[in-house]
Structure 1
């Protein structure tokens, strides 16, 4: 099997980076794989603490031979996550024709590299297949150790080919269709299970988010692409602890279907949507989105309560003076 290069994007999270690398090193085929590590630079006027964390990350990635070969690319300036991934993936996939991608908070199972390469090889010439996902949503699993196709991309441990990446227009100016076409917007939102259209519009019209992933999904959606997913997740996101630029302390999207020794042995021979899984996914997204909104509402209510208490205490304090 010809192994795809693995690309890891890191920045300023030493502990997360080390967990990601240690898990990757335990993978089957890690000792036969090439790993590219892209290190983003610190932001302008960064604090001493942040500069120290950036430096520590760059020390950690040199601690061991995490794979057969490790190639380190250090940026002097801060590109941000979206530009780092777009530029790095483009550079590597254009050279090698296929790629496996990780970020610095994704812990992998021991079967991750094997699963990715097996699927990349198996579906390389199936042009409707746009991505291989190692992440699995918490859906009902009756047929164990299996993978299936649904039309939704993911960003937590994934792989693709050059043939897919060159299709993507990251300018995505045709997003304006979503504003005027209600039917298209509903389809892009998976029957209004999740507001992907709002994410894309916000991405294109403001600086509040910087997401390459939503633009990837938009391009795959327009091309009627499918994504291979495992029945149980081969990755776990450990970044929901307020340590990352794009992750808070929410657990929305994390999975309980996680086992570091889990393997995928059955791959679909037919390239079509697993309709039962797709239906489950839409229900899952809708349910979890409602829970997530409730959590946010409770947090806001609690902050408002604390503010009122603080104002009350201030008034009592000043009344005694």
Structure 2
């Protein structure tokens, strides 16, 4: 294999969990990428149709039949086809529980997250590299932001983030085993401020506490904020590709959550990472890149307040630095 090639270095050995529902169009696109990668074990999870949605049962069955009839490579197939609709919160979290009950580690794709081919091998290599590294809890191929391009001499293939990214990701049983969809420890964690280590700014803490509280009270039909909460308690980071290996193709009226994506994300290109991967020397959160992610996620929760706090911290550090210089100058000149 040539240096810096995007050609897969070997046959794929990692299992894939494919989460589907009622959208045949996007399912076909993502499945074609999975079929090209040829995972040796494929897990397909499908929530049941909603009784209140006329004709949805036919759509759900059409998706299931398409997938089963088009698996044409040597592959162990496992299915979790729900008879009743559980909703996003329980259908997805339950499917991931099922996946990691059977696999020590693996790749997770939803039916609207289109991967490039190198995404599969990117995950496979890093799942193995960080298998026993508890500071890393997930691997993400989603990076639509242009700020993370390799510039200023940065050569590493990925960086570390405090934020959760679930548009095409991978993880380990050892990390997911801490997950609790009901967030039972939230009241105690809130009292102890256990999550403050990841959310230093007051504005960000307030917004996340509001979201966590709503999840705890069952007011949000989702599973991913609970995963973010779990990761903050573990003080673990997400490994993020510097190339955008995932494109969200689910925008539209039929989408569960992504009815409208920001132009920066909807216009993002699908890329391939080069092999061999270049690894960072240390596991350190890249706060510069996280600032951009935070801006996208928390604008509506008070980004200006956050920026003001950052500025205050920087000015305080500059002040302390200048005071230290004065002290050192006085010491060197015998004034102390």
TM-score (norm 2): 0.75
CA distance in 1, matches of 2:277, 2:236: 21
Instruction: Check conservation: 1:5, 1:100, Cα contact below 8 A.
Output: yes
Change (3 A) 1:237 1:287: closer
Unaligned ranges ≥5, structure 2: 1-9, 303-336
> What SS does structure 2 have at the residue aligned with 1:76?
coil
Instruction: Check conservation: 1:178, 1:197, Cα contact below 8 A.
Output: no
Structure 2 residue 18 is matched with structure 1 residue 12: no
Instruction: Check conservation: 1:188, 1:197, Cα contact below 8 A.
Output: no
Say which of 155, 172, 175 aligns to 1:161. 172
Q: Deviations over 1:146-175 (max 9, x none)?
A: 111122221111111111111223321332
Match of 2:127 in 1: 120
Match of 1:296 in 2: none
Change (3 A) 1:58 1:95: closer
Structure 1 residue 265, shift from structure 2 partner: 3.6
In the TM superposition, what are the counterparts of 1:67-78 in structure 2 within 5 Å? 68-69=74-75, 70-78=77-85
CA distance in 2, matches of 1:286, 1:249: 17
Change (3 A) 1:132 1:288: closer
Change (3 A) 1:5 1:137: same
Match of 2:295 in 1: 286
Change (3 A) 1:132 1:44: same
Instruction: Check conservation: 2:198, 2:235, Cα contact below 8 A.
Output: no
Structure 1 residue 35, shift from structure 2 partner: 1.1
Q: Deviations over 1:128-158 (max 9, x none)?
A: 1111111125123223571111222211111
> What SS does structure 2 have at the residue aligned with 1:130?
strand
Structure 2 residue 66 is matched with structure 1 residue 53: no
CA distance in 2, matches of 1:83, 1:36: 17
CA distance in 1, matches of 2:268, 2:156: 12
Structure 1 residue 219, shift from structure 2 partner: 1.1
Q: Deviations over 1:204-251 (max 9, x none)?
A: 1243x2221111111111111011100022111111212122222233
Q: Deviations over 1:98-120 (max 9, x none)?
A: 12111110100010110111000
TM-score (norm 1): 0.78
Structure 2 residue 223 is matched with structure 1 residue 248: no
Instruction: Check conservation: 2:26, 2:112, Cα contact below 8 A.
Output: yes
> What SS does structure 2 have at the residue aligned with 1:62?
helix
Match of 1:110 in 2: 117
Higher mean C-alpha deviation, range 83-92 or range 141-150: 141-150
Pair member with larger Rg: 2
Instruction: Check conservation: 2:114, 2:248, Cα contact below 8 A.
Output: yes
Structure 2 residue 136 is matched with structure 1 residue 129: yes
Instruction: Check conservation: 1:151, 1:273, Cα contact below 8 A.
Output: no
Match of 2:148 in 1: 140
Q: May I ask how many residue pairs the two structures share in their alignment?
A: 286
Unaligned ranges ≥5, structure 1: 294-321
Instruction: Check conservation: 2:48, 2:83, Cα contact below 8 A.
Output: yes
Higher mean C-alpha deviation, range 245-254 or range 233-242: 245-254
> What SS does structure 1 have at the residue aligned with 2:25?
helix
Structure 1 residue 52, shift from structure 2 partner: 2.4
> What SS does structure 1 have at the residue aligned with 2:38?
helix
Say which of 234, 238, 241 aligns to 1:227. 238
CA distance in 2, matches of 1:227, 1:287: 17
Match of 2:277 in 1: 266
